[in-house]
Amino acid sequence: MTTFRWYMLGLLALFGAYVALEYYRPKPLDWSPTYINKDKIPYGTFVLFDQLPRLLGTDSVATVRRSAYTQLTGAPDAAAEVDSSSQTSTAVNDSTEAETPPPPTAGPDVLAAQASYLFINDGFGASAADARALLRFVALGNDVFIAADDFQSPVLGDSLGFYTDDVAVASHSGPRGLLVADSVTLRFTHPALAGARYRLPALLARARLVVKAGRAGRTLATDAQGRAVFIRLDHGAGHFYLCSVPLAFTNYYLLRPRTADFAAGALAYLPARAAWWDEYQKQGPLGDQSLLRVLLAYPALRAAYYLTLLGAVLFVLVEARRRQRIIPTIKPLPNTTLLFIRTVAGLYRQGRNHALIAEKRVALFLDYLRVRFNEASPDLGDSDFRERLSQKAGLPRARVDELLRLVNFARTAPQIDDRALLQLSRAITDFRREAG
């Protein structure tokens, strides 16, 4: 076996060992708060959703992957936009007749169903149509349970008369002088549950619920300072249960004996009937289970998918560069004619005698007469030639005589100075320009 094969076997063995190490290595714990009912990570809600039938005393627990408006009215989401826009435009058009907006209970009828609607998420965001549908749903005698630290629904807040307030987090000096945030202690106000205390991280439980004056509501749980974290708001024949510490409903705190009873105590206020568990605000609508969605759902498959795309892009770039190399830019050869002429002229001018330059200038002029006027061997002193050249060039006879005089002088003079050479050159140039 050759040395190259040994090297290849060694590389394959190292690659296999690396794959096995990555496969059997413990996965790092994911502490991101997802609140998804299928997540078994610390801040998922798999345990609560699994125990929800026992806690609510019902066998009918359904997962909802539609908006509240669609779930409660049976209309598509497009109808929610139409309903919201139509009520807004009606309020604007009727502003001259009535100063108050239409009541939240106005709109399409909700389905005739007795159920409890549960929302557990880090933030509760409901559109105007969703909020109005929930209000009509509760007014018929149903219950809605919402656990969130941020309520982003002005319609719901204004109709029920509540808002959230973030409190300052106290801290103390920990090891090495670092500031450590204190925990928050929660307790129920019901006499049967008042003795229990539940400690949660203060950084993850900062929101407090405040009920506006004159609103019908009841505080069910508070922190150590008496600020509400769990309230009940009456609306029609039903109730809204609002909790500002959704962290207490996650897997991590449900599996701890000291905090597990808080979620059970909060859900005990709901009646024993069918329940709807909302996943729409966390996972979105339930779409088609395509292959791409499955690939992106798992970290390993998602990494393999992205690596494949990156490899394909690199392959295209490398192949394109290998098959079509960059065409070099070839600079054109420089025109050295003018440089040569200047060099030769400089040599002629060194002797201060321009007879040779004048001779070459006359020779070029005679060649021009041969090519342009078909005068192969002209006699510059012949009167007939001069008359004929004047007629062919379309110039006066005097101009032709003056030019030929200068030419004869350049051919016979022993020495030509700068002035004579310049006069000859200008005369020839003017003749050629005017004669065409």
Which position has the higher pLDDT, 23 or 266? 266
pLDDT score at 315: 86
Residues 56-74 pLDDT 10s: 999 999 999 999 999 998 8
pLDDT score at 75: 77
Nearest residue to 146 (alpha-carbon basis) of 259, 270, 260, 237: 270
The domain of 42 spans 27-76+103-169+180-287
Tokens 């900062």 found at: 206
| Domain presence at residue 298 | no
| Domain presence at residue 95 | no
pLDDT score at 338: 83
pLDDT band at 330 (very low <50, low <70, confident <90, very high): confident
Domain endpoint, select from 256, 287, 318: 287
Residues 36-50 pLDDT 10s: 999 999 999 999 999
Sign of CA dihedral 122, 127, 129, 135: positive
pLDDT score at 145: 97
Q: Does residue 415 register a pLDDT over 90?
A: no
Residue 263 shares a structural domain with residue 349 = no
Residues 181-219 pLDDT 10s: 678 999 999 988 878 899 988 888 889 999 988 887 899
pLDDT score at 176: 57
pLDDT score at 180: 56
| Domain presence at residue 97 | no
pLDDT band at 168 (very low <50, low <70, confident <90, very high): confident
| Domain presence at residue 318 | no
Residue 237 shares a structural domain with residue 107 = yes
Residue 147 shares a structural domain with residue 210 = yes
Sign of CA dihedral 158, 65, 137, 234: negative
Residues 144-161 pLDDT 10s: 999 999 998 899 999 999
**What's the structural domain count of the chain?**
2
Nearest 5°: the CA angle 55, 61, 62 is: 150
The domain that holds 116 is classified in CATH as 3.40.50
Residue 119 shares a structural domain with residue 256 = yes
pLDDT band at 99 (very low <50, low <70, confident <90, very high): very low
In sequence order, the 6+-apart residues with CB closer than 8 A to the CB of 66 are: 77, 280, 285, 286
Residue 208 shares a structural domain with residue 347 = no
The two structure tokens encoding residue 345: 């002229």
What's the whole-number mean pLDDT along residues 379-383? 86
Residue 368 shares a structural domain with residue 221 = no
What's the whole-number mean pLDDT along residues 162-191? 77
